[in-house]
Amino acid sequence: MESQNYLGIYLSRDTATVVCLNLLGRIGKVLGSFSVSVEDNEQAKIQALASLIAQGCAQRRWSYSEVSVALDCAIFMQHSVHSEFGDRKQIAATIRFDTEEALATDITNIALAFEITLAGQEGSELTVFTAQRKILSELLESLQAHNLDPVNIEPDVSCLSRFICRKGSSAESQQPGTLFGILSRRNGYLIIPPVSGGPESQKASTVRTFLVGPTQNRGELLSREVLVTTALVQSGEPINYLKVFDSAGTVNHHQLGEKLGIESDGIGWLDEAGAEKQIPANNFKTVGYAIAYGAALAHSEKGHRVNFRDDFSPFQGKKLKMQQALKFAVISVTVLLITVGLFFQGSLLSKNKESRKLNTKFAENYSFVMLGQKPEDIKSAVKKLGSEKRRLEQAKKGLITIGGEKSISSKLTLVLTAFNKCAAQTNLNIKSVTITAKDIIVTGDTSSRESTLKFFDTLRNNGLDVLKPGYNLKGGRDYFNTIIAPK
C-alpha cells in the first residue's frame, strides 16, 4: 500500500543513497534501494543529484506517501549547548539565543535543529546541529522541483542512530554503556543509544560525528575519537562495550578493544545488511544505506524529530494541504450560503439603497426650506412641511392679518429699502417675499456668500432682524432662504 511506503534519502554533496521502505512491523520491509553519484560533475551537483534520484524512483516505479532526507555530516556542524529549561517548547523558544551565546557568533543565516540528551533540575544539555540556510534552501528547492518534498531534513547521525536502535535491538540485546563506532568512506559516527529502562534523564542517543581523511589510519582515528567521546559522556554510565563497523575493513576491533581496555566486537547485522535483496554489496555504501533506512523509519515515530525544516522552512506537505482543502471547502459552502441569502435579499437591499438616497436628498431640501432645521423623522417632517405650506398659502391670499405695531406696508417698505441699498453691490436676485403677521420670508440669491452676508448686514442696519438664515452654493450663485422681522 502506498500509504505505508516511505522514501529515505541519504544526501551528501555529490552522492545519494535511496531506500524505499514499507513500514509494516518494527523494522519495516525494504522494497528496494539504489545509489547515484555526480562526482565528475562540478556544476549544480545538488540539482543533478535530485534529477538522478527522481529518475531512479521513476524507473523502479516506486509509489510512496512521504519523503525524508538525511543530511551528510560534512554539510552541518554539531555543538553542545546548555539550556536553563527542561520543557521542549521553552527550549525551542530560546534555542537560537542560547546557541548564539554559546557560539559567540551571529546565526541569522543559520538553520538549526536540536535534541535533548540530558535533563535535570538545572536545565538541559542539548546537542545542536547547525547548517547554512542557503545550502538547505537550495537542496530543498532542487528536490521540490522533481516532486520530492521531504517532511524531514535530519542530520545523518540521527538517522543512523534510529537505524541502530531498531535493527540492533532485534539482532542482539544491548548492554548498558555500549558505544557504536561506525566508519564510512569519508565519515565517522559514534553513537551511544539510550538503554531501555535506563535513567529518565537520558532523553536520546549521545552522538558525535567526525570526518575521515583518505590517508588517515582509520584504527588510530577511531581509537582517539572513542577516548574523546568517553570523556564527554555525561549520562553517568561508563563505556564498557564497543561495537565497531569499518566499511573499509581495515580496523581490527579486537586490537582496538585491547588498546582501549574495553570489550570490543564487530556489528555483524550491519555487515550483513549489504547482502539483503537489492542492497548494494559494496561495504562503502552499506553505511549510506543504513542512514537512508533510518531516514525512512522517521515516519514510524511520533513526537519530536531533529528536523532542520522546523526552523527554516516548515513542511507544507500533504497533511497540511488536506487541512487547507477542508478549510477551503468549509469556506466555499459558507460563501455559497451567503450568496444564496444575498440573492433572495437583493430586492430588499436595492430598495433600502434607494430609500437611503431619498432620505438624504429630503433632509438637504428640508433643511434649506425650513431655514436650517433638521427633520427628526419623516412623519413629523411631512407634517411640519404641510403646516408651513398652508401658512404660506394663507399669507399669499391675504388671509393672515397683520399683527403688532408694524403694518404690512411698513414692513415691505423696510425690506425694499434694504434691497435697494445693496442690490447693485451684491448682484441681488429676489425670488420671493412672503410677509406674514409675524415675520417676512425672503428667498433669493446673490453672486457669492460674501454678498449674501453683506445683504444680511444691510437688512440689520435698516431695522430688521435676520432669523434662521439658510445658504446653498450652487452654479456659481449663493442661494438663501431666511426669515426677517422688524426689530
Sequence ranges of the domains in the chain: 2-316, 330-379, 385-486
State the Cα–Cα distance between residues 202 and 13, nearest whole angstrom. Answer: 33
By mean pLDDT, which of 80-89, 243-252, 469-478 is the weakest? 469-478
Burial class (CB in 10 A: 0-12, 13-18, 19+), 299: buried
Q: Which three cell numbers stand for residue 386?
A: 404641510
CB neighbour burial string for 448-480, b if at least 16 within 10 angstroms, e if fewer: eeebbbebbebbeebebebeebbbeeeeebbbb
Per-residue pLDDT at 394: 65
Residue 30 near residue 278, CB atoms below 8 Å: yes
**Fold entry, domain 2-316:** Nucleotidyltransferase; domain 5 (3.30.420)
Amino acid at 5: N
Banded pLDDT at 35 (limits 50, 70, 90): very high
Q: Which CATH architecture has domain 385-486?
A: 2-Layer Sandwich (3.30)
Angle between helices 378-396 and 318-369 (to 10 degrees): 20
Q: Give 371-404 pLDDT, tens digit per residue.
A: 667 777 777 777 777 777 777 676 665 555 444 4
Beta-carbon contacts of 317 under 8 Å, excluding residues fewer than 6 positions away, are 66, 149, 151
Nearest one of 430, 426, 451 to 440, comparing CA atoms:
430
Per-residue pLDDT at 101: 92
**pLDDT higher than 50, residue 278:** no
Question: DSSP assignment, residue 105?
Answer: S
Per-residue pLDDT at 225: 92
State the Cα–Cα distance between residues 188 and 211, nearest whole angstrom. Answer: 6
**pLDDT higher than 90, residue 289:** yes
Per-residue pLDDT at 160: 94
DSSP 237-289: ----EEEEEETTS---HHHHHHHHTSEEEE-HHHHGGGGSTTS---HHHHHHH
| Averaged pLDDT, 457-479 | 83
By mean pLDDT, which of 4-13, 185-194, 361-370 is the weakest? 361-370
Cα separation values, 183 from 137, 187, 212, 368, Å = 29, 6, 8, 97
Beta-carbon contacts of 115 under 8 Å, excluding residues fewer than 6 positions away, are 126, 127, 158, 203, 204, 304, 306
Q: Which three cell numbers stand for residue 398?
A: 391675504
pLDDT cut 90: percent of the chain above it = 34
Per-residue pLDDT at 282: 54
Which of 52-66, 336-350, 363-377, 465-479 has the largest mean confidence? 52-66
pLDDT cut 70: percent of the chain above it = 83
Q: Give 313-347 pLDDT, tens digit per residue.
A: 887 766 666 677 788 888 888 888 888 777 767 76
Question: DSSP assignment, residue 483?
Answer: E
The mean pLDDT value of the chain amounts to 82
More confident residue, 97 or 237: 97
Q: Which three cell numbers stand for residue 316?
A: 507544507
Nearest one of 4, 74, 61 to 291, comparing CA atoms:
74
* Residue carrying C-alpha cell 399669499: 396
User: Hey, is 313 helix, strand or coil?
Assistant: coil
Nearest one of 73, 51, 63, 69 to 4, comparing CA atoms:
63
Determine the number of helices (DSSP H) and then strands (DSSP E) in the chain: 14, 17
Strands lying side by side in the sheet with 110-120 = 77-83, 123-132, 110-120
Q: Which three cell numbers stand for residue 98?
A: 542560547
Per-residue pLDDT at 79: 93
Per-residue pLDDT at 58: 94
Q: Which three cell numbers stand for residue 384?
A: 411640519
**pLDDT higher than 90, residue 173:** no
- Pairing label, strands 152-155, 66-71: parallel
State the Cα–Cα distance between residues 19 and 8, nearest whole angstrom. Answer: 5
Per-residue pLDDT at 253: 87
Amino acid at 167: K
pTM as predicted = 0.65
Which of 36-40, 136-140, 272-276 has the largest mean confidence? 136-140
Q: Which three cell numbers stand for residue 181?
A: 563506532
